[in-house]
Amino acid sequence: MDLIVAVLFQLIYVISNLALISLGLAIIFGMMRVINLAHGEFLMLGGYTVVVATNAGINIWISMLILAPLIVGVIGVVVERLLIRWLYGRMVDTLLATWGLSLLLVGIVTSLFGASTGTTVSPPLGVLRIGEYSASGYEFFLIIVTILLLFGVWLTLRFTKLGLLARGTMQNAEMASALGVSTSNIYMITFGLGAAVSGLAGGLLAPITGVLPTIGATYIAKAFITVISGGAAILAGTTAGSILLGGINGIFSFIAGSTFGEIALLLAAIILLRLMPRGITGRFFRKSL
């Protein structure tokens, strides 16, 4: 019984991890059809913010929950104004430009901090006991935070004025603009928010994964694949994609080790895209958020 709970816990963690790292990308993709390949670097920057701030003496919870999203959010706004703004509607070009941005950010961080970091941060919160098995208390915390984050995004989109304006712009930008909405500002804010969510995610994961300039690469592939497989709906897509791909990853990892888990995820994504070329929410739950 305890084994089942422990295994289930791991599975849920894998799924929520995937959702956490993908949400920022999904917000930007769902809203603006921009595939931000620098997403992994936003996560990385969030991680660096936490490590640098915490080692400078700032309380770890503040670095993770406030500083990381704030700083990366601002960076996101700057990126949108300087780069993304010129490329709306040109999906391939934004893909390529953000790829360039990704390389650029890795390069800048390497220049500033060197190719590897000297110090890291250890995960706060201790160990959870599940009968005979122990699980990481921090992982439990992350699961809760992910659920809260998804809920928070849903609340914002559904019930706030900003959310309404954002959804309107997402569905019909011209109409929204004709009604007096500054679509340019909406895009800027949304990109900033997506970046902030990514920064938050990266910051939260820093104690577990450590930080390297190149760590973005480990995130981007999975996040990219999850978002595309999930389809255009921000929340439904991310959730569906994470559950399906994360679930397969988790199950196969449990059966045959993490390598096979990764490969199973990638293969599942390929098959998924073949069967549903527009992602899961391109076929099901099409009108959902």
Partner 1 sequence: MTKGMLRKMRPTFIYALLGIIFMLAAPSVLQLFTIINLTTAIALSVLALSLALIWGYGGILCFGQVAFFGLGAYVYTISAINFGGSTWAILVAIIVTSAFASALGYFIFYGRVSDVYLGVITLTVTLIFFSLIRRTSGPEYKIGNALLGGFNGVSSPPINLPWNSASFLFPEQVFYVAMAALIICYVFVGWLVNTKFGRVCVAIRENELRAELLGYDIRAYKLGIFTIGAGIAAVGGVLFCNGVGRITPDIFNLYNAALTIIWVIVGGRGTLIGPIGATFALFYVTSALGGQSVFNNNLVLGIILIIFVLLVPKGVAPTIIGWASARRKKSQRRVRRRRRAEGTR
Q: Is 125 in the site for partner 1 (CB under 8 A)?
A: no
Q: Does 124 bind partner 1 (CB under 8 A)?
A: no
By C-beta, is 6 or 217 nearer to partner 1? 217
Supply φ then ψ for residue 222, to 5 degrees: -65, -45
Asked if 228 is part of the footprint of partner 1 (rule: CB under 8 A), the reply reads yes
Q: Which of 2, 8, 59, 93 binds partner 1 (CB under 8 A)?
A: 93
Q: What's the min distance (Å) between Cβ of 110 and partner 1?
A: 5
Q: Which stretch binds partner 1 (CB under 8 A): 70-78, 92-100, 152-160, 239-247?
A: 92-100
Residue position matching structure tokens 């073949």: 274
Nearer to partner 1, 143 or 245 (CB): 245
Residues touching partner 1, count (CB under 8 A): 43
> How would you label 107-123 residue by residue, b for 16+ Cβ within 10 Å and e otherwise?
eebeeebeeebeebbeb
Instruction: Please say which residue, 42 or 138, places its beta carbon nearer to partner 1.
Output: 42
Give the binding site for partner 1 (CB under 8 A). 35, 83, 86-87, 91-93, 95-97, 99-108, 110-111, 114-115, 213, 217, 220-221, 224-225, 228, 259, 262-263, 266-267, 269-270, 273-274, 277-279
